[in-house]
Amino acid sequence: MTRFGRIGDPPATLSVPRPRRRGGRRRPSGLLGALGTAAILLALLGAWELYAQVGGVDPLILPAPHQVASSLWLDRSLLWDNLRVTAGEVLLGILVAGVAGFACAVALHVSLALRRSTYPLLVASQTIPIPLVAPLLVVWLGFGLGPKLVIIGLISFFPIVVTTLDALARVDPEQLKLLRTLDASRWRILRHVELPAALPGLFSGAKVAVAVAVIGAVFAEVFGGSSSGLGNLVQQAIPNLRTDRAYAAVLILSAFAIVLFGLLTLAERLLVPWAHESPNGRNR
Amino acid sequence: MEGVRVDGVERVFRARGRRGVEVVALHGMDLRAAPGEIVAVVGASGCGKSTLLELVCGLQAPDAGTVAADPAVLMPQRDLLLPWASALDNAALALRVRGVPARRARVEAVPWFERFGLSGFEDARPAALSGGMRQRVAFVRTLLAGKPVLALDEPFAALDALTRQEMQGWLARVLAEEPRTVVLVTHDVEEAVVLADRVVVMSPRPGRAVAELEVGLARPRHRTDVAVVALRERALEALGAPA
Ligand SMILES: Nc1ncnc2c1ncn2[C@@H]1O[C@H](COP(=O)(O)OP(=O)(O)O)[C@@H](O)[C@H]1O
Ligand SMILES: [Mg+2]
């Protein structure tokens, strides 16, 4: 075999690899962003504290931040125990929704008939009023993890299916033509091109699902007759005149959602780093 | 082996949604490529060149006329490399989708990387490659498809002028060593004359062949050769462009 001219070699420096661009989006440096968030938080807390002190509000309705902070500290083991319960429900729920949602999106993508017939039902499933069905689920599945997983899974499932399906649909039609001239079967197109291309969609969906899954967990605990979890703690705290504890629990829930979101973003960067690079084929 | 035969082909697109609006992409289009021949097709943008290649590849069926061709592989205008796969795996995709196991596919692709000056970039992902390198990886993928006919759709149109010239010289050498039946679509008349055995000039839409130039010049050719320049002028004239 002959060697063809190596175009990348000197003196022709034309084909030297481009410096890699990291991240498709411009964003302020992490430190700046964190400082900004902290500043906004501090301002909000300050305003809240001031209002609680001089506004003459009943602390049972609106506790001051310092009261919430003290509950965070004094009730730390109670909060921690309940966080573990809720976190377990949320993680398991998102996992179930992720697996089922991805599989469902692929099935809908492959079968037009299925997509036409099932997609409207999927949208309809999002209008199910959870407070109404939660007690029924309890009757049906008992007081354990079952009804919570169903509720969290049900509302996390939808964003995952939608974003995964969109990612599948966005595969370049030219790419599919190319694959057909390479004699690729439907299954091999799916396996080698479409499934990997759908992964960023799965991550986007899971990120949206984090927020709704946490709300879903609270609903599930409140309306599903739960005896533990942060949602349950909030519900118990209010009639016991422990509004500060209720606020503390909500704070923990938000922090948990932020952490989960951050972890997903990190996993996304590690597992699908190409998703935010310059788009495939910068040629036009 | 029959190469490529396109006879009196018509291709009409109906605009979706709006009834009655039709785009006649090709009308009475003829094209022949003998086995082993390199035929360049030049024409204005929108004259149906990509449509012609898809017909040759069997991705579309003509509305009238006939298309007969040996199995053809498409090299689309954009390289369409998979951003998550290494350069080597991208080239080996042609084998993978036919069921060749990953290791064997890579082993088969490696020698092509050496031949095409891509050694050392096997594990690089496409985003780390220059435009010229990406195009060469895409070309390895095209060759590994193992089809007798290559349908190349403006393969160098997106490259900067200098890289494009290098790549044209490179493709000429590759095809000298790996003879295939090639239908090379381009809107660069010079590229057509430098690379092809024959140049087919298409009319604006609806596209059909309006002129055919036998190149018949010794290789390697350079864009500055007097004969190349003369042919280029004739092709431009046939295109109706001010020479
Ligand atoms: N799938 C399609 N649906 C509708 N119109 C199309 C389609 N493909 C091509 N056309 C039209 O046919 C004409 C020829 O397109 P194309 O073959 O891509 O031209 P070229 O490659 O020469 O630029 C264009 O006017 C284009 O808009
Ligand atoms: Mg085109």
Neighbours of A174 (CB within 10 A): 16
Are A281 and B72 within 8 A, CB to CB? no
In this structure, the answer to whether residues B40 and B134 fall within a common structural domain is: no
Is 1.10.3720.10 the CATH number for A61-273? yes
Q: What is the pLDDT of residues B82-132, one digit of tens each?
A: 999 999 999 999 999 999 999 999 999 999 999 888 999 999 999 999 999
Q: Whose CA is nearest to atom 16 of ligand 1?
A: B48
Using DSSP bridges, classify how beta strands B22-33 and B38-42 pair: parallel, antiparallel or unpaired: unpaired
Q: Tell me, what DSSP letter sits at residue A21?
A: P
Residue B234 vs residues A269, B19, B230: alpha-carbon distances, Å: 54, 41, 6
Residue B137 belongs to what domain range?
A: 82-146
* Closest among A60, A63, A70 to A48, alpha carbons compared: A63
The answer to whether A231 and A219 have CB atoms below 8 angstroms apart is: yes
* Average pLDDT of the segment spanning A162-187: 95
B76 inside domain = no
User: Who's near A19: CB < 8 A, 6+ residues apart?
Assistant: none
Name the band, by pLDDT with cuts 50, 70 and 90, for residue A279.
Answer: low
Provide the 3-class DSSP secondary structure of residue B30.
strand
Name the band, by pLDDT with cuts 50, 70 and 90, for residue A129.
Answer: confident
Name the band, by pLDDT with cuts 50, 70 and 90, for residue A28.
Answer: low
Distance in angstroms (rounded) separating the CA atoms of residues B26 and B49: 9
Instruction: Give the per-residue pLDDT at A9.
Output: 42
Instruction: Give the per-residue pLDDT at B241.
Output: 63
Distance in angstroms (rounded) separating the CA atoms of residues A123 and A108: 13
Distance in angstroms (rounded) separating the CA atoms of residues A212 and A214: 5
In this structure, the answer to whether residues B165 and B138 fall within a common structural domain is: no
Choose one of B146, B161, B184: the last residue of a domain: B146
- Residue B219 is encoded by which pair of tokens? 């290789």
B65 inside domain = yes
B155 inside domain = yes
Are B132 and A15 within 8 A, CB to CB? yes
**Cβ-nearest to A283 among B78, B97, B117:** B78
In this structure, the answer to whether residues B43 and B162 fall within a common structural domain is: yes
CA dihedral A75, A81, A87, A89 (to 10 degrees): -130
Name the band, by pLDDT with cuts 50, 70 and 90, for residue A208.
Answer: very high
Q: Is the pLDDT of residue A244 over 90?
A: yes
Q: Is the pLDDT of residue A66 over 80?
A: yes
In this structure, the answer to whether residues B104 and B205 fall within a common structural domain is: no
In this structure, the answer to whether residues B175 and B107 fall within a common structural domain is: no
Are B59 and A8 within 8 A, CB to CB? no
In this structure, the answer to whether residues B123 and B222 fall within a common structural domain is: no
Name the band, by pLDDT with cuts 50, 70 and 90, for residue A4.
Answer: low
In this structure, the answer to whether residues B226 and B171 fall within a common structural domain is: yes
- Residue A142 is encoded by which pair of tokens? 């008992």
The answer to whether B12 and B60 have CB atoms below 8 angstroms apart is: no
CA dihedral A258, A262, A265, A267 (to 10 degrees): -130
In this prediction, what percent of chain A has a pLDDT beyond 90?
Answer: 64
Q: Is B13 in the pocket of ligand 1 (CB under 6 A)?
A: yes
Whether the pTM exceeds 0.95: the reply is no
**Which residues pair with residue B33 across a beta bridge?**
B4
- A283: contact with B, CB 8 A cutoff: yes
B141 inside domain = yes
- The residue ranges of every structural domain in chain A are 61-273
* Average pLDDT of the segment spanning A234-260: 93
In this structure, the answer to whether residues B25 and B98 fall within a common structural domain is: no
Distance in angstroms (rounded) separating the CA atoms of residues A50 and A53: 5
B186 inside domain = yes
- Using a 10 angstrom Cβ sphere, with 0-12 exposed, 13-18 middle and 19 or more buried, the burial of residue A10 is exposed
In this prediction, what percent of chain A has a pLDDT beyond 70?
Answer: 88
In this structure, the answer to whether residues B134 and B196 fall within a common structural domain is: no
Instruction: Give the per-residue pLDDT at B105.
Output: 96
Instruction: Give the per-residue pLDDT at A13.
Output: 39
- Residue B29 is encoded by which pair of tokens? 């289009």
- B61: contact with A, CB 8 A cutoff: no
Which ligand has the nearest atom to the CA of B47?
1
In this structure, the answer to whether residues B123 and B158 fall within a common structural domain is: no
Name the band, by pLDDT with cuts 50, 70 and 90, for residue A67.
Answer: very high
What is the ipTM metric for this complex? 0.89
Residue B125 vs residues A238, B129, B243: alpha-carbon distances, Å: 56, 7, 43
Instruction: Supply the mean pLDDT for chain A.
Output: 86
Instruction: Give the per-residue pLDDT at A25.
Output: 55
B23 inside domain = yes
More confident residue, A188 or A125: A188
From B201's Cα to the closest Cα of chain A, the distance in A is 23
The answer to whether B184 and B215 have CB atoms below 8 angstroms apart is: no
Name the band, by pLDDT with cuts 50, 70 and 90, for residue A2.
Answer: very low
Q: What is the pLDDT along chain B (243 residues), one digit of tens a residue?
A: 689 999 999 999 987 766 678 899 999 999 999 999 999 999 999 999 999 999 999 999 999 999 999 999 999 989 999 999 999 999 999 999 999 999 999 999 999 999 888 999 999 999 999 999 999 999 999 999 999 999 999 999 888 989 899 889 889 989 998 899 999 999 889 999 999 999 999 999 899 999 899 998 888 888 888 998 999 999 898 888 654
Q: Is the pLDDT of residue A263 over 70?
A: yes
- B161: contact with A, CB 8 A cutoff: no
CATH classification at residue B40 = 3.40.50.300
Are A14 and B54 within 8 A, CB to CB? no
- Alpha-helical runs (H) found in chain A: 30-54, 65-74, 76-110, 112-125, 130-141, 145-169, 173-181, 186-189, 195-223, 230-237, 243-271
- Residue A2 is encoded by which pair of tokens? 């002959």
The answer to whether B55 and B67 have CB atoms below 8 angstroms apart is: yes
Angle between helices A65-74 and A243-271 (to 10 degrees): 80
Q: Is B186 in the pocket of ligand 1 (CB under 6 A)?
A: no
Name the band, by pLDDT with cuts 50, 70 and 90, for residue A131.
Answer: confident
More confident residue, A93 or A18: A93
Q: Residue B48 CA: which ligand 1 atom is closest?
A: 17
- A198: contact with B, CB 8 A cutoff: no
Are B82 and A182 within 8 A, CB to CB? no
Q: Is the pLDDT of residue A17 over 60?
A: no
Choose one of B130, B146, B162: the last residue of a domain: B146
- Residue B204 is encoded by which pair of tokens? 């604006």
B77 inside domain = no
Q: How many domains does chain B have?
A: 2
Q: Is the pLDDT of residue A173 over 70?
A: yes
Instruction: Give the per-residue pLDDT at A145.
Output: 87
- Residue B76 is encoded by which pair of tokens? 């689309």
Instruction: Give the per-residue pLDDT at A191.
Output: 96
Choose one of B146, B170, B197: the last residue of a domain: B146
- Separation of B46 CA from ligand 2 center, angstroms? 7
- A23: contact with B, CB 8 A cutoff: no
- Separation of B44 CA from ligand 2 center, angstroms? 9
Are B78 and A9 within 8 A, CB to CB? no
- B153: contact with A, CB 8 A cutoff: no
B219 inside domain = yes
In this structure, the answer to whether residues B171 and B62 fall within a common structural domain is: yes
The answer to whether B75 and B138 have CB atoms below 8 angstroms apart is: yes
In this structure, the answer to whether residues B133 and B168 fall within a common structural domain is: no
Neighbours of B177 (CB within 10 A): 10
Q: Is the pLDDT of residue A15 over 60?
A: no
CA dihedral B112, B113, B115, B117 (to 10 degrees): 160
